[in-house]
Every structure is written in C-alpha cells, then in structure tokens.
Copies of this chain bind each other. A is one copy, B any other.
Amino acid sequence: MTKVLHVLLTGGVGSRLWPLSRQSRPKQYLDIFKGNSLFELSVMRNSNYAGELIVVGNSENQHLSVEALDKLKLEDYKSIEEATPRNTAPAIAFAAFAAQAEDILLVTPADHIIEDGEEYKKAIRSAVQLAAENFLVTFGVHPTKPETGYGYIEFTGDNVLSFREKPDKETADTFLKTGNFLWNSGMFCFKAGIYLEELKKYSPEVYQRSLQAWEKAENGKLELETSLQIPAISVDYAVMEKSDKIKVVKADFEWSDMGSFEAVYDYLKEQGQPVDQNGNMQIGSKKHTSFAGLQNCILVETEDANLVLAKEASQDVKQIYQELEQTNSALII
C-alpha cells in the first residue's frame, strides 16, 4: 500500500496583503476565510488524501502553526523548523529526508485557496498514481484569465514542454488563446527518494548542503549555521525545470494563490461579500463604509493601519510594505 505524506510548506509573509498580513501573522494564518485560515483549510483538505502530515516552516511561524493545528485537534504530525528561509527546494528536501524513499510526498503551499471537491480528488489520484510510477508531478491549473502574476506550464497531454515565468500581459493573452498553458500551482507530488535523486543530479550543492544541515538538525529543528550554507532556490528551478521525469496533472479545480488583494477581492466577492454598485469593497472592517467617485476600490482596515487601494494597483502593496520595512515601522510587525 502506497503511503502518502502531506508536506505543507508554510513560509512567507504575504507582504502584498499588508496591513492584514504581518510578520507576526502572515497571510496563511489569517482567519478571514469563513473563520478558517488558509493554513487550516490546506491541512483539512489534504488530510483526505494523505495519511501523515509534515509541516515545514520557519521558526517565527512555528507557534502559529502549532496554534492552528491545536485548533484542528491534530496532534499526530511532524514538524520541521527552518532556521532561515531557503526557498522550496531545500524545504522539500528536509521533508524527503524525514520520510522513507518510497513514501509519496504531496507538497502544497499553506497560503493558496483551492476548491475541495471531485476535481481536486481526481487530480490528487492521478498525481499519486504517476508518483508511484516514479514521476515528478506538478499540478497545472486551467487558467481562467491572462494573469501576469503567475508562472505558466506549457504542456501536451501529461508532458511538460516548458515552464514560463510570470509573463507580460500580451504573452499571457497568447498563452490563454493557444490553450496549451496551465498555471503553475506550486503543488507537487513525487516519491521522497526520486525527488532526492533528481535534486542530487541537477542541483548537487543544494542536495549536499541540505543533507549536511539535516544531519545537524535535532527533532526536526534546523541549525542556523549549516542552514545558511544552503543555496536558497525554488523546487521549480532546482529540479522541475531540469528533470526528464516530469509529468503534469491538469487540474480543473478553482484555485488562487491569494497573492494580492485583487485575488482576495475576487474570492470574497464570489463568496458573497458585498460590493457596492461601483465594485468597491471593504475588507477587515466591521464598520459601514461608503465610497464616492471611485470604482473597484478596496478599503482594508485594521486596528493600527488602513490601506486604500485601486484594485488594479494590488501589486503595489508590496512596495508600501517595503517602504515601511525600510523605516523599521512597527506597522509591519
């Protein structure tokens, strides 16, 4: 019987969701989705398909993960605590080291929203089957608009032709028209042993440094000194774009990386959150809010900071965050 482990990657701050998202409470821990956080939803969704859970996150988030798992009354999980963020390739390597070579890892981010249903079930089943056949599987989501904030996968059948970084608007339009491009969902499925083999083959330094750090880890807790030696590289870059064992599972579930207020807006609107006749929405506030002379505007209200933004300027929030960061503002903590 195949053993499937859910590897939950829970790094990241989500600076584009400031002021909701803070260093002390990154977006995946915000209870803004029907009373649950994206972290919780991700754990619950994948518990249907995986027998075990490995949470890989950084030490600052550790207590938030524990809190969320307590809330879900989950006690039986493994925790890998990174000393410093090294991106996804090393994070997944640690999980692979903690597993058996034949274990199938279902790797997911903790901060995406996914419609849990038949389509998701079907996609996971296909992926697990391909993983059992020693393939490295990536999940490609059927794109519904020419989004420039996502990576794309060029495919034919279940084969990957190429990975494409965030395209410009024109290129994204072409991707949608040709019909053989999928959104790169950031979810993966493969055997722990196969992943490590391919990592060793295509990114030997990442493999070696990750292994050295792992050997120094105590109870899944990484040590800073050895961790700092690991190149910080994504799994796409380190393995997926290089290996010849890649397959893609075309997924038809609704999916969003909740990477900006535009995505949050779209999701909340679909969930029935009110917008006015000009498409304006408030988020986070329990107060009445009126808008005048504005279209598709979002007011984000928190206890110590407000953000007023044009929906289409959602990507600019990262810059606001960085400016506050540069002045050591307490508003991002």
Contacts of A64 in B (CB 8 A): none
B293–A305 CB distance below 8 A: no
Interface residue A333 (Cβ < 8 Å from any Cβ of B):
no
A269-305 residues with Cβ-Cβ distance < 8 A to B are 280, 282, 285, 287-294, 297, 299, 301, 303-305
User: Is there contact, CB below 8 Å, between B306 and A293?
Assistant: no
Residues of B within 8 A of A285 (CB): 306
* A309 surroundings in chain B (CB, below 8 A): 291-294
Could you mark each residue 71-97 of chain A with 1 if its beta carbon is under 8 Å from any beta carbon of chain B, else 0? 000000000000000000000000000
Which residues on B sit within 8 Å (CB–CB) of A320?
Answer: 290, 292
Q: How far is the CA of A17 from the CA of B293 in the complex (A)?
A: 15
- A282 and B306 form a contact (CB under 8 A): yes
Closest to A312 in B: B293
A316-B292 in contact (CB<8A): yes
Whether A331 and B292, one on each chain, are in contact in the complex, defined by CB atoms closer than 8 angstroms, is no
Number of copies: 2
Within 8 A of B (CB), among A98-152: none
Flag if B331 contacts A308 (CB, 8 Å).
Answer: no
Report the bound CA distance from A280 to B317 in whole Å: 16
Kindly state whether residue A310 has any CB partner on chain B within 8 Å. yes
Which residue among A289, A292, A293 has the maximum number of chain B CB atoms within 10 Å of its CB?
A: A292
Give the shortest distance, in Å, between A319 (CB) and chain B (any CB). Answer: 8
Chain B residues with CB under 8 A of A293: 309-313, 316
A303 to chain B: which residues have CB within 8 Å? 287
Q: Give the chain B neighbours of A292 by CB distance below 8 A.
A: 307-310, 313-314, 316-317, 320
Q: CA–CA, A329 to B313, complex, Å?
A: 33
With A293-B316, A313-B293 as contacts: A308 and B299 at CB distance below 8 Å: yes
Enumerate the 10 nearest inter-chain pairs by beta-carbon distance, A residue then B residue, closest first: A293-B313, A293-B310, A292-B309, A289-B306, A292-B316, A292-B313, A288-B305, A290-B320, A291-B308, A290-B307
Q: Hey, which bits of chain A sit against chain B, CB under 8 A?
A: 19, 280, 282, 285, 287-294, 297, 299, 301, 303-314, 316-317, 320, 329, 331
> 13 A-B contacts, Cβ less than 8 Å apart?
A280-B308, A287-B303, A288-B304, A288-B305, A289-B306, A289-B308, A290-B306, A292-B308, A292-B320, A294-B308, A294-B313, A297-B308, A299-B306
